Structure 1
Amino acid sequence: MPYEPAPHTLDAEAVRTWSSLAVAALGRAREDIDAINVYPVADADTGTNLWLTAEAADRALAEVFAKPAPGMTDATPETSLARAVRAYAHGALIGARGNSGTILAQLLRGVADVLGEEPGEPGEERGSGRRLAQALTRAAQEAYQAVAHPVEGTMLTVAAAAARAGETAQAATGTAADVARAAYDAAREALAETPGQLAALGRAGVVDAGGCGLVAVLGALWQALSGVEPSAEPVPGRAVSVPQPPDPCEQPDAGPAYEVVYLLEASDAAVGELRTRLDGLGDSLVVVGGEGLWNVHVHVDDPGAAVEAGVVAGRPYRIRITHFGDERRRARGERVQRAVVAVVPGEGLAGLCGEAGATTVLAPPGEVPAVSALVEAIRRAHAREVVLLPGGAELRATAAAAAEQARADGVRVAVIPTRSAVQGLAALAVHDPEGSFDEDVVAMTAAAGATRYGELAVAERQSFTSAGICQAGDVLGLIDGDVAVIGSGLTETAEAVLERMLGSGGELVTLVLGPEVPDTLAERLEAYVQQGHLAVDTVTYRGGRYSAPLLIGVE
């Protein structure tokens, strides 16, 4: 239930009310907003992405109200405006979804940057009308800066119009509620003009979907500060059928094939270089955040390269790779028949599986993803049938629970008991989305089961293993999950593991290199295989950050 608003007072409770009302408003409008989504990609998810972003921000805000501030012990402490807006913006940054959600996160960050600071004027309150107007202006400025190539006729245009009107209102009245009302009214007017500013919208006869969502958020802000509920109105352009080509997935001008999103821990300087690199790889580039934490969104044809660019810049995590072929079918109200969801330990593997058409979930070694993360990935795949590759024995229970939840939603799910990422790659190699579900699952299961898997790890302490006692720093060679070799160097241990694995035959060796392993190791191992096993082919991939020093698959 929404909290009772405090008219004309912009404080922490008002932010809490704003958040609750924004989630409700976007929840009511999200299907209509999805239906008018044509730019930059007609993937019918802008309303859903904005709603999910607002939900994530609301959860972060709720946690702030539930926990004492530093130095306080009261179970229900008073929360400051600065602490509330910062938590609200941080939650949006962490949970931002899609292009529109990422821009909304940056708009909220701009608001927090102003309302979280001490007022510049003596005696001025943080929540004054002047401060709110400044916050809306900063929000629009930062959103424009976050987008690599800003386009007018989008939610950026709507945000700028709201900011200008807010500045005018505060000069005349000074109240936060009046500033919010002026911003809301101006945003509505700017939204109505977007079809004449952006050709894609004009052709479809709709307004900008992201801008429509922003109007809902600004309406919630006005309601939180005034106590007046905006009159219900239909989403502009909702009644217009958005034209789609016969098969959007086959259109040569459909743009990049993948959406890549991840959180990134990196310095400002590294992010500057990352922007340049990603801008050369694709389009719809939006990088938001600051103070060491960023949310990166880009559309590319090479998702592996986009992820690797993040690895060069810093530490990417929560990587999501989505194939637009599936998204464009969803834009026509269709589900794809079948999809694959793979849990992988490294960013390089996430990119590799993404290129093969899989929806990926990143789970670094030793970490088990939440059931909700797998359920969300299954839903994001938007398919009637899903093949789930857990990638580790310790993940089977989580995968089974996620599959059970997805089945309750009407999705047919099969869990293939892959115990290593290389078994997942083998299963993906034989995946046939055009064949029957049962035959596909059987073939993928057989391919995974026929792949022996090995791994190199470095012992952290002295311990007993199935191959004897190891010391801290020893290189352990594991085969099918058990320690088979204890060595002193990566190359020698890898060669010993390969020799044992190939002893029972094989046609293909897959090598997945960890982030700090040199290419020379792969060259040495490829030569080793060729010398002793002339009929065996070798392929090498980079696993990226978090992956083990070396993964080996033998098929």
Structure 2
Amino acid sequence: MNNIKTINGTDFAKILFFAKDLIFNTKDQINQLNVFPVPDGDTGTNMYLTLESALKNLNTIKDQNINSVSKKIAKNAVLGGRGNSGVILAQILYGLSKGFDKLNKCDVKEFGNSLVSAVDASYESVSNPVEGTMLTIIKSFSESWNNARINNDSFNDVLPLVCDHAGKVLKDTPNMLEVLKQADVVDAGGQGLLIIFEAMKSYMLDDKPDIDQIMNKPGQSTKGLNIKEFVQEHAEDEWGYCVQLVINGADASREEIEIAVNKNGGSTVITGIEEYVKIHTHSEDPGKILSACIQFGELMEINIENMDKQFEEFVNDSEIELEVQLNENQKCSIIAISNGNGFNNLFVNLGVDKIVKCEKTLNPSVSEILEAIDLCKTNDVIILPNDKNAIMASDLAAQESVKKVSIIN
């Protein structure tokens, strides 16, 4: 293993591509942790989609300048950031890019300085910063990094120390935020951020990340009962709408825009790059948010989502995850590839052991199916692809697995 003392723009992009794939493979697990600020089960999905936007058109990148590459990534992320967690992640990437300003490549000390910039940018973007969230995790990562670099000058040496520290802070987030303690989960955005750091560590050390080691699960101390009780307790709550938009050529300060938005919004995150201002807020009346923003410039990339509907889906998903149990005498496990809560519930009622969920037209990856196979407690496994598009991935997963896997087309 080489002792890596600097990274360039190509390295930075490759790290994020690796992180994107790792977030994709764990997004459903991250979603199950999502109870703050709204329990709508989309944190992992939003972080994945934000990284996908950030890396748009960078597949064949040849530019090795970390300054120019990081600025392209930051702009894409700010414009394409999804949800509260995605918009904050975009601001972290923007802060890093500011720290990389005028650099061709970056050493451990310079990366530490960029992390300080990322912390400042992320906290400044949130109207009411709350500890116990991904803000706490990026701050702990920055502080730990800048302590570790005093006696270490290689990424290989610093990253294991920093990831270990960030993991411990993440496990403590329920003690910082009461809603996490009630649901018996760690912060979902913080978990996603830790996975991104772990992807960076794995890239530097050229090894495979241990997902079971770094992934926290709902109700680890109570076998999942608290998360179910939590969503049932809040079943009658009204959450309103998640409103996201971009103002092009905003003719106002960030503070002016924030005041106008917060008259009818909450959980507001405002980011900006060049002539664009990205706004994420929660509101009972999306129309008032749009009316408040249109006075500042041209509105674009408008996205409005019903959080009550998202919460309902999260409740259904939580119940599904908790109700699938293994019969002690069972000799064969069944995996179903499914799309939508209706089919998910149907398969659970039929006794299916594991469900690989597909979102809309998104087909399951080989790694997702292979993970489901590995989680089965029996050596004999049957897969129900339920769609011709999933058959090839199922076949490849069966070939990769050491278990006896049969596929029913």
Instruction: Give the secondary structure class of the aligned counterpart of 2:41.
Output: coil
2:295 to 306, 309, 312: 312
Give, in angstroms, the shift of residue 322 of structure 1.
0.8
1:188 maps to 2:167: yes
1:117 maps to 2:102: yes
Give, in angstroms, the shift of residue 225 of structure 1.
2.7
Check 1:12–1:407 CA distance in 2 against 1; reply closer, same or farther (3 A cut). closer
Check 1:225–1:116 CA distance in 2 against 1; reply closer, same or farther (3 A cut). farther
Specify the alignment match of 1:38 in structure 2.
35
1:237 to 217, 242, 247: 217
Q: TM-score, normalised by structure 2?
A: 0.72
Specify the alignment match of 1:262 in structure 2.
245
Specify the alignment match of 1:12 in structure 2.
9
The farther-off stretch of 219-228 and 293-302 is 219-228
Letter in 2 for 1:53: T
Specify the alignment match of 1:157 in structure 2.
136
Counterparts of 1:96-245 in structure 2, within 5 Å, are 96-118=81-103, 126-233=105-212, 235-238=215-218, 240-241=224-225, 242=227, 243-245=229-231
1:325 to 290, 308, 324: 308
Counterparts of 1:314-353 in structure 2, within 5 Å, are 314-333=297-316
Counterparts of 1:124-523 in structure 2, within 5 Å, are 126-233=105-212, 235-238=215-218, 240-241=224-225, 242=227, 243-246=229-232, 248=234, 250-251=236-237, 254-255=238-239, 257-267=240-250, 269-333=252-316
Instruction: Give the secondary structure class of the aligned counterpart of 1:51.
Output: helix
Report if aligned partners of 1:263, 1:319 keep a CA contact under 8 Å in 2: yes
The farther-off stretch of 85-94 and 32-41 is 85-94
Letter in 1 for 2:212: E
Specify the alignment match of 2:379 in structure 1.
none
Give, in angstroms, the shift of residue 79 of structure 1.
3.2
Letter in 1 for 2:101: G
Gaps of 5+ in 2: 319-338, 343-358, 364-409
Report if aligned partners of 1:249, 1:324 keep a CA contact under 8 Å in 2: no
What CA deviation, in whole Å up to 9, does each residue of 1:26-77 have, x standing for no partner?
A: 01211011011100000000011111111111224336x1xxxxxxxxxxx5
Check 1:312–1:244 CA distance in 2 against 1; reply closer, same or farther (3 A cut). same
Check 1:25–1:137 CA distance in 2 against 1; reply closer, same or farther (3 A cut). same
Instruction: Give the secondary structure class of the aligned counterpart of 1:22.
Output: helix
Give, in angstroms, the shift of residue 383 of structure 1.
9.0
Distance 1:150 1:31 in 2: 26
Q: Is the helix fraction higher in 1 or 2?
A: 2
Report if aligned partners of 1:129, 1:177 keep a CA contact under 8 Å in 2: no
Larger Rg: 1
Instruction: Give the secondary structure class of the aligned counterpart of 2:106.
Output: coil
Check 1:153–1:49 CA distance in 2 against 1; reply closer, same or farther (3 A cut). same
Specify the alignment match of 1:29 in structure 2.
26
Check 1:61–1:178 CA distance in 2 against 1; reply closer, same or farther (3 A cut). farther
Instruction: Give the secondary structure class of the aligned counterpart of 1:250.
Output: coil
Distance 1:52 1:276 in 2: 28
Check 1:238–1:6 CA distance in 2 against 1; reply closer, same or farther (3 A cut). farther
Check 1:230–1:92 CA distance in 2 against 1; reply closer, same or farther (3 A cut). same
Q: TM-score, normalised by structure 1?
A: 0.54
Distance 1:210 1:193 in 2: 14
Distance 2:263 2:107 in 1: 43
Give, in angstroms, the shift of residue 5 of structure 1.
9.6
Distance 1:186 1:126 in 2: 26
Specify the alignment match of 1:82 in structure 2.
67
Report if aligned partners of 1:165, 1:179 keep a CA contact under 8 Å in 2: no
Letter in 2 for 1:170: R
Specify the alignment match of 2:78 in structure 1.
93
What CA deviation, in whole Å up to 9, does each residue of 1:434-483 have, x standing for no partner?
A: xxxxxxxxxxxxxxxxxxxxxxxxxxxxxxxxxxxxxxxxxxxxxxxxxx
Instruction: Give the secondary structure class of the aligned counterpart of 2:245.
Output: strand
Check 1:228–1:409 CA distance in 2 against 1; reply closer, same or farther (3 A cut). closer
What CA deviation, in whole Å up to 9, does each residue of 1:365-417 have, x standing for no partner?
A: xxxxxxxxxxxxxx9xx898xxxxxxxxxxxxxxxxxxxxx99789xxxxxxx
Number of residue pairs aligned between Structure 1 and Structure 2: 320
Distance 2:157 2:291 in 1: 47
Report if aligned partners of 1:56, 1:91 keep a CA contact under 8 Å in 2: yes
User: What's the RMSD between the two structures over aligned residues?
Assistant: 2.7
Distance 2:185 2:236 in 1: 24
Distance 1:383 1:310 in 2: 36
Gaps of 5+ in 1: 66-76, 119-124, 336-378, 385-405, 411-555
